Every structure is written in C-alpha cells, then in structure tokens.
Structure 1
Amino acid sequence: MKLLVVEDAADLRALLVDLLQEEGHEVDAVADGIEGLYRAQNWDYDVIVLDGMLPGLDGFDVLAKLRRTRQTPVLMLTARDHTRDRVRGLDQGADDYLTKPFANEELLARIRSVARRGGLQSEKVLRIGEVEIDTGAMQVRAAGEKLDFTAREFALVELLARRRGEVVSRERIFDQLFEDESDEVDISNLLDVYIYKIRQKLGKDFIKTKRGTGYLVE
C-alpha cells in the first residue's frame, strides 16, 4: 500500500516510516498540516495516518478540508484521549482513532482494517471507452484484450485515469512516479518515452497533451 504519515514529532515520524516500510509499504511523511493536506488532496494514498495536533493546520482541520473532496481512509493518531476529541475526529470523517502510546501490532492492524473498508468504497476497475484498468490486478485491457504494461507504465495510466477530465501536470507526475530516479537521469525525456509507449498500446488519442501544462485522459 501507499501511505501518508502526517506527524510533527520527528522521532515518532521516523519510527512510523521505518515500521511501515518494514511491512513492505511505500511511505511519504510530512511534518505539518498544510503540507499534509496538500499531499492528501493531490496524491493517491491507500491510508493516511494523521496526527491530531500539528503546526500550521491541526489534524482535525486537515481532515475536515480533505473530506470535501476526498474519501481516502484516515487513521487519526493523537495523544488526545478525551471522548470529545475522539467524537470530533470521527464526526469529521476519520475511519478510526488510535491514541498514543500505541502498540505497533495494533497500529498495523488498524491500518489494514481501514484500508479494507476504504477499498470497498474505492473504484477498483476504471473504464474509459473500450479501455478497462483493473487497479487490483494491475492489468489493462483494450476491447477485451489483455495488454502488457510495466509497473511504471501502469502507474502512469492509473494516475491519469483516476483524474480523468483533469489536466495532470508534468510536475505532479514527476513527484509521484519519478522521485526515486537519479539526478543524472533526464526525467523529462523519460516521461515522454512512457507517454509514447502507452499511446502505442492504447491509441494516440487516449492521452492528450496540453502544451505547457500536462496530460489529460478525457
């Protein structure tokens, strides 16, 4: 799974990242509510682990603003143990609530639980014309025929398909799919290669280029 951790305490943030990466998850981590909200609104995550007390914008406000546009599963993680705080978090759309200190095993179990509940509500098969994108099986079919896609080609197709009708900037694609590339790699040309390969498989009109802006799947 791809997870976002929003936690201002550096030691705990590092512990959470290590714990979740050891479980095989891809993890992004930020230290304040403003950056956390930006990430949560503009990236696709399976679960967000959100601290309630954050600089810039507290976790409850992050959650309230996020729920206006996104239903990403959220596990609130906070030192607040008052009933009113738990009720506030759940009323604003948290899927679960865990207070500090916590057992690592319980944290992992709760993340799995909210991910399953979120998975029931999220769109697993995306259909665009004759193209069918199965995000669970990581398979793409066109007119019923299964096509071969590399993992990164699939990730790019899924990113654009989930935002169909919206222009996705090259910068956002770089941040989500190419942030692990070496500085020596010409990422701009690499993205052009992936777009070209996908168009070969799905047709030149499947992904439209918006000059100077980004790419669009209608």
Structure 2
Amino acid sequence: MRLLLVEYDAKTANNLAEGFSKSGFTLDVALNGLDGRHFVEEQTYDLIILDVMLPGLNGWQLLKLIRQRGTTPVLFLTAADAIEDRLRGLELGADDYLLKPFTFDELLVRVRTLLRRGPTGDAASYSIADLEIDMTRQRVSRGGQRISLSENEFALLQLLASRQGDVLSRTLIAAQIFAGDTRPIDVAVHRLRSKIDERYLPKLIHTVGDVGYQLAVLEAFDLR
C-alpha cells in the first residue's frame, strides 16, 4: 500500500515514516502543501494523510484538489480541533479526522479501516446476519420482527451499516449525525443496542476501545 503524508513538522513526519515502514507501508512525505500537490498530481495513492495548517497550500485547498481528481481516502491529522474545522473537513470530502496529539496505534487502526473500505454508494437496503434495513421505506427488522427507531437512531444505524466492519470514530459519527457534538453518541448507541441487539444473537454493535463503534458479526469474541 502506498500512502502520502503531507505534514509540516519534519520530526512528526520522520516518526510516522518509520512507523508506517515497519507496518509494511510505502510512505511519501511532503512538508508543505505545494509539494503535496505535486505528489498528488504525479502519483497514485491508496490513502492520503493531511495536516490543515500547511505552508504554501493549506489542507482545505489540497483536499479540494484531491476530490477533483477522484475518491482516494483522505484522513486529516491536525491540531485544528474546533468543531467548525472538523465539520469543514468532512463536508469537503475527508473520510476521517484525527486530532493531535495522537498515538500511532490509533492512526494505524484508522488508516487500515479506511483502506478496507470498498466502493461506497447509497444502497437501497442492507443486510447483516438477520438484521434487515430497507432504506427506501426506512424500515428495520431483525429476526423478522419490525423495530421502531427514532430519526437519529435510524441515521446512526444507516451510517454503521454503510460501513459494515469499519470502526467509525466518534468524531466522524458526531459530524455526520449530531452536528459535531460527541455528547449524545453514547446515549444514542445505548438506545440503538437495546433495540437491535438486546434480544438477539449474534451481537452486532460493538465498541472498539476508545476509537469508536462498529457494526459487524464477530465470531470469536464480543468487543462490547
């Protein structure tokens, strides 16, 4: 897998280059936005990691260029922690947003999660185990039994189902459903679990460490 890192801090860039190399990735590094644009225009990448505050060309501008050229996954890695910044990044087409300071392990999990994603699109229905989601009629059933969900619960389930198996960060869920506010997430997940998982096996909604949530069938163990 070939990655591009656009990061102004040389020390951080060197540390990440070493970490990704040990993890089996090829990583190109640009220390400013103009060099990043050159790499984007000349090379093909499986995933791009961007800072926001870049000399020459900022991360927002570079993301617009990337999106004009295709659907390469983009992860923002930045200290720009305002909710407005996170929402702007996701609205411009970023796939995830990780704040500094961070751990390399979490970054690696998010990178691998994004790389596992296949082509995305708006499906008319989703099916996982005995859970059925009809997007057209906004109906949900499990084991043949209809399940009534609130608007936010349905939106949360749809988001998780559209990325089956992926670990979705709390930041991403908040930006997509709760206008950037992470506070309602735990309550929403608890309520959704009580309806989707409480009376059924296998359990489908899982908490993955401090990273986020996942909709998947886990055969060996339950992360909840």
Q: Report what 1:131 is aligned to.
A: none
Give the TM-score, by structure 1 length.
Answer: 0.53
Q: Is 2:104 aligned against 1:104? A: yes
The answer for the alignment partner of 2:216 in structure 1 is none
Determine whether 1:60 maps to 2:60: yes
CA drift at 1:103: 1.2
Q: For 2:38 and 2:95, how far apart are their aligned partners in 1?
A: 20
Is 1:7 matched up with 2:7?
yes
The more displaced of 61-70 and 83-92 is: 61-70
Q: What is the rounded CA distance, in whole Å, between the counterparts of 2:20 and 2:119 in structure 1?
A: 22
User: 1:116 offset after TM fit, Å?
Assistant: 1.7
Partners of 2:113 and 2:119 in 1: CA distance: 11
Contact 1:41-1:70 within 8 A present in 2 as well: no
Paired residues of 1:47 and 1:72 also in contact (CA < 8 A): yes
| Separation of aligned partners in 2, 1:112 and 1:41 | 24
Q: What runs of 5+ residues in structure 1 fail to find an aligned partner?
A: 122-218
1:137-163 Cα shifts (integer Å, max 9, x gaps) = xxxxxxxxxxxxxxxxxxxxxxxxxxx
- Matched to 1:80, the amino acid is A
Partners in 2 of 1:34 and 1:44 — Cα distance? 17
State the alpha-carbon separation in 1 of the partners of residues 119 and 66 from structure 2.
19
Deviation at 1:36, TM superposition (A): 0.5
Q: Secondary structure at the residue paired with 2:56?
A: coil
Secondary structure in 2 matching 1:35: helix
Cα separation, 2, equivalents of 1:73 and 1:35: 19
**Counterparts of 2:56 and 2:43, CA distance in 1:** 20
- In structure 2, stretches of 5+ residues that fail to align are 121-224
Partner Cα separation in structure 2 for residue 25 and residue 87 of structure 1: 29
Instruction: Return the TM-score normalized by structure 2.
Output: 0.52
Structure 1 CA distance, aligned partners of 2:38 and 2:89?
19
Q: CA deviation at 1:42?
A: 2.4
**Number of aligned residues:** 120
8 Å CA contact retained: 1:34, 1:56 = yes
The percentage of counterpart residues that share the same residue type is 45
Structure 1 consecutive aligned stretches of length 4 or more whose deviation exceeds 2 Å? none
2-structure distance, mates of 1:10, 1:35: 14
Structure 2: distance between partners of 1:41 and 1:110: 25
